Amino acid sequence: MAEGFKLAGSLTRDEQDWGVFAQISGPRDGLSGIVAIEATFLAGTCHDFHRHPGQEEVIYVIEGTIEQWLGEEMQMLSAGDSVVIAASGVHATFNDGDAPAKILAILSPSVGEDGYGVEDVAGDEPWASLR
C-alpha cells in the first residue's frame, strides 16, 4: 500500500521503557522515501544522543515540552516548535517535565525494514559530557 488512509485506531502503539512509539508510515506501507513516527516521552525519560546514518529528520512537538539537543546546542521546545536535523546529525530528546511530551518525527530517506537506522553515541565524547 503506497497510499491510503490510516485511521488512529489502526496504528500499532508499542510501549517502550521511555514511552509510546507509533510508526505512522514507512516501508511496511510501501513507502521508500519517508518515514513518520509519533512518539510520546513519559516524564523523566529521553532518547539520548544518537544519529540516523544518512537520514534527515524533522521533529515537531505536538504537546508538552522537551529539552532538544542538536549537536552541542540545546533548546527547550514546546507545542508547535520544531527542529530540523541534517543527515547523520547528532541529537537527543529529553523530557524532564512532570507530564508526557508528544512529538512527530519525520525521517528521509526511509532505510531498512523499519524505515530508520539508529546509532547510539551517548557514551562518546563530547556527547557523554554535555548533560
CATH code for the domain in which residue 60 is found: 2.60.120.10
Q: What is the pLDDT of residue 28?
A: 83
Beta bridge partners of residue 50, listed in sequence order: 91, 120
Number of domains in the chain: 1
Residue 17 included in any domain? no
Which grid cell sits at 117? Answer: 537506522
* Alpha carbons 7 and 24: distance in angstroms, whole number: 10
Domain span holding position 87: 22-130
Strand partners, 106: 36, 58
Is 122 contained in some domain? yes
Per residue in 10-56, pLDDT (tens digit) is 888 989 889 999 999 988 888 889 999 999 999 999 999 999 999 99
Across residues 55-60, what is the average pLDDT?
98
Residue whose entry in the numeric block shows the C-alpha cell 516501508: 27
Question: Has residue 2 got a pLDDT over 70?
Answer: no
Low-confidence winner among 3-7, 12-16, 73-77, 100-104 (lowest mean pLDDT): 3-7
Burial class (CB in 10 A: 0-12, 13-18, 19+), 104: middle
108-127 pLDDT tens trace: 999 988 899 999 999 999 99
Residue type, 10: S
Distance CA 66, CA 109 (A): 25
Tell whether 9 is covered by a domain: no
CA atoms of 108 and 131, how far apart (whole Å):
28
In a domain, 4, yes or no: no
